[in-house]
A and B are shown apart, each in its own frame.
Chain A
Amino acid sequence: MTRKWLRWLPAAAVPAVIAAGALTGSLPASAGDPLPPKTPQQVLELVARHGEPALSGTLEQSSNLGLPELPKTGAGTDASSAAWLELLTGPHTARVYRDGPENARIQVMDRLAERDATRHGNDVWLYNSKDNTAAHARIPADGAGHPGATDATATPDQLAAALLAKIDSSTAVTVGTDVRVAGRAAYNLVLTPKSDATLVASIAVAVDGQTGLPLGVEVKARGQADPAFRVAYTSLTLGAPDASVFNFSPPPGATVKEMTVPAHKQGQDSRHTAPQSKGSAHKPAVTGTGWDSVIEFPAGTAGPASNAAALLQQATVPVQGGRLLSTALVNVLVLDDGRVFAGSVPPERLQTAAAKK
């Protein structure tokens, strides 16, 4: 009988070993402050000085915003219009390549699909493998100012001091215990709103101790243990990636759309210019200060014709006087008369702001 028990020993030992391995692997590696201590200002200086090194790495993003998540049933496909919106829900992995300000590539790796954004010189390409579509834009040569160009007048320490002075009244800036991101020791710069009314509990930025490169951002919402939004490198290699990575030409058979970038001179990055094209006629009004601000968009800003309207209808719940889109970090109140109130505050504050007008 004892011999029989011995025979089952491997069957008990192997899961035990695996469980032990998984447990030790999941424990946070005690970094134990390997970096020399720095004040928040010094860490910010480090960030301002980092000068965008050439790198290739893998980014992992997860959001826990309370938005409905679509199950990823492998072989299926969905409408392309929601494809970029979908980035806000669920986890994603992306590979990032960068070499200087004019060469960059991001590959968002979906299951059996990929979304690419490539910048090579002044050419910007977006590619979606799911429906085999590509979009091309040329950044106007004069508008493609180097990101450092506007900053050239201010030194990193001046920048850091100015930024600190600006947010000091509303936010406590501290440096927490060092963290390890992508195997690198990093400073943990924590921004905590001083206001109690905002939904944001804290924002933590991991700053690489060696290069000053921001390695990750973690936004925590009030009353939620898991970070509401988290993006961080899981692996990072400094040094120029293979130049062929940045050479993109649309594959034959792909639908190519040509986009024109408005020639105003602030875009160093096409992704940031898009949302600002609208709404110059009716400017949004801001009430409140700092983290409690509520932004009011006048009627007619939210175009009902867009494909997103149906999606919005699904994600919102009816409240008194309109519909509410509620997430862990931001609440958006769409009134029946078309006005839109948004802010990182509880919905009651949005309704009070709406009632005042």
Chain B
Amino acid sequence: MTGGLLASELGLLFRRRRTWAMLCALAAIPILIAVAVRVSSAVPAGRGPAFLDRITQNGLFVGVTAMVVSVPLFLPLTVGVVAGDTIAGEAGQGTLRYLLVAPAGRIRLLLVKYGGAAVFVVVAPLVVALAGAGIGAALFPVGPVTLLSGDRIGTGEALARLLLIAAYLALSLLGLSAIGLFISTLTDVPVGAMAATVVLSVVSQVLDALPQLDWLHPWLFSHYWLDFGDLLRQPVSWESFAANAVLQGGYVAVFGALAYGRFITKDVLS
């Protein structure tokens, strides 16, 4: 029952033109980077976003660079749109009432909506990584990859690390999508929920950059977003992965409970 509901939710989500537009925009980031590096002269080491100077030597770095670039804004933006739309979108269209008439129940609807957002959260970084690896392989040589530690690994393992980074980013964005789900239960205006979610992600990153607030930093959901570099060390450092998982789990629990409290007690009029 829930599975069927989730399947229909996913069908709805991935049949939307908006979803495809966002995924295409994400895929365009690595393509733009790769083409720009290809047509311009060599990038001096240590300039621009991390790993940009490695692209000409190894195309797989296009994926990594694109993920570095898209973490602060583009990924939270798309996730905010999807998560902010979950409940508010149905309410805004006036379809929420009909969904609740069915014996689905509010809890199940909430779970299914979050499940749909979570699937998008997995797909979005994967699109960036795979589009990056693809365009990188097409335009640049591909070979053993130099890690941050200076060690080298083979192409197969490098691809595995790339997928691991995508998984890390998916995990990183789960907290934000839970926040989006909660905000989405507060309003009937989907655009407002989307904007609020995206703004929160920016605010969190700004706070994370202020050294005066370092007591707050471990509690910010964006704190570990850029620490996926730990997966590019030799040996892999799993500490940030674990800390990030705990943090995101906390955010999912808190904002899931808040969304539950709000959605269960909400008067659904539209």
A111 located at the interface, meaning its Cβ lies under 8 Å from any Cβ of chain B in the complex: yes
A57 located at the interface, meaning its Cβ lies under 8 Å from any Cβ of chain B in the complex: no
In B215-270, the 8 Å CB interface with A consists of 226-227, 229-230, 233, 235, 237, 239, 250, 253-254, 257-258, 260-262, 264-265
Are A11 and B150 interface neighbours, CB within 8 A?
no
B123 located at the interface, meaning its Cβ lies under 8 Å from any Cβ of chain A in the complex: no
- Docked CA distance A44–B237 (Å): 34
Instruction: List 14 A-B pairs, Cβ < 8 Å.
Output: A9-B261, A14-B257, A15-B254, A109-B237, A111-B227, A112-B50, A112-B226, A113-B50, A113-B148, A116-B150, A130-B46, A132-B54, A250-B150, A252-B57
- Docked CA distance A111–B205 (Å): 15
Q: How many residues of B contact A (CB 8 A)?
A: 41
Residues of B within 8 A of A (CB): 45-51, 53-54, 57, 68-69, 71-72, 146, 148-152, 209-211, 226-227, 229-230, 233, 235, 237, 239, 250, 253-254, 257-258, 260-262, 264-265
- Docked CA distance A134–B150 (Å): 9
- Docked CA distance A90–B46 (Å): 21
Contacts of A258 in B (CB 8 A): none
Q: How far is the CB of A256 from chain B (nearest CB, A)?
A: 11
Q: How far is the CB of B32 from chain A (nearest CB, A)?
A: 16
- Docked CA distance A111–B50 (Å): 10
Q: How far is the CB of A324 from chain B (nearest CB, A)?
A: 23
Q: Which B-chain residue is minimally distant from A89 (CB atoms)?
A: B211
A 207-250 to B, binary, CB cutoff 8 A, 1 in contact else 0:
00000000000000000000000000000000000100100101
The 8 closest A-B pairs by CB, nearest first: A131-B46, A251-B146, A11-B261, A10-B257, A112-B229, A114-B148, A8-B261, A74-B226
A331 located at the interface, meaning its Cβ lies under 8 Å from any Cβ of chain B in the complex: no
Are A11 and B50 interface neighbours, CB within 8 A?
no
Given contacts A18-B253, A80-B46, A242-B235, 9 further A-B contacts (CB under 8 A): A9-B261, A69-B211, A75-B50, A75-B72, A111-B226, A112-B148, A127-B149, A132-B146, A250-B150
Contact of A77 among B46, B151, B227 (CB under 8 A): B46
Are B46 and A116 interface neighbours, CB within 8 A?
no
Contact of A127 among B49, B150, B152, B229 (CB under 8 A): B150
Given known A58-B239, A75-B68, contact A129–B150 (CB-CB < 8 A): yes
- Docked CA distance A75–B72 (Å): 9
Q: How far is the CB of A223 from chain B (nearest CB, A)?
A: 20
In A120-143, the 8 Å CB interface with B consists of 125, 127, 129-134
A305 located at the interface, meaning its Cβ lies under 8 Å from any Cβ of chain B in the complex: no
Contacts of B264 in A (CB 8 A): 7
Q: How far is the CB of A54 from chain B (nearest CB, A)?
A: 16
Are A7 and B226 interface neighbours, CB within 8 A?
no
Contact of A253 among B146, B149, B253 (CB under 8 A): B146
Given known A10-B260, A58-B239, contact A4–B265 (CB-CB < 8 A): yes
Contact of A75 among B49, B257, B258 (CB under 8 A): B49
In A247-297, the 8 Å CB interface with B consists of 248, 250-255
Name the residue in A11, A15, A111, A254 with the highest tally of chain B Cβ atoms < 10 Å from its Cβ: A11
- Docked CA distance A33–B229 (Å): 40
Are A71 and B265 interface neighbours, CB within 8 A?
no
Contacts of A254 in B (CB 8 A): 146, 150
Given known A72-B209, A75-B49, A113-B148, contact A14–B230 (CB-CB < 8 A): no
Given known A72-B209, A75-B68, A114-B233, contact A131–B45 (CB-CB < 8 A): yes
In A51-85, the 8 Å CB interface with B consists of 58, 69, 71-75, 77, 80
A107 located at the interface, meaning its Cβ lies under 8 Å from any Cβ of chain B in the complex: yes
Are A71 and B210 interface neighbours, CB within 8 A?
yes
Contact of B68 among A112, A114, A132 (CB under 8 A): A112
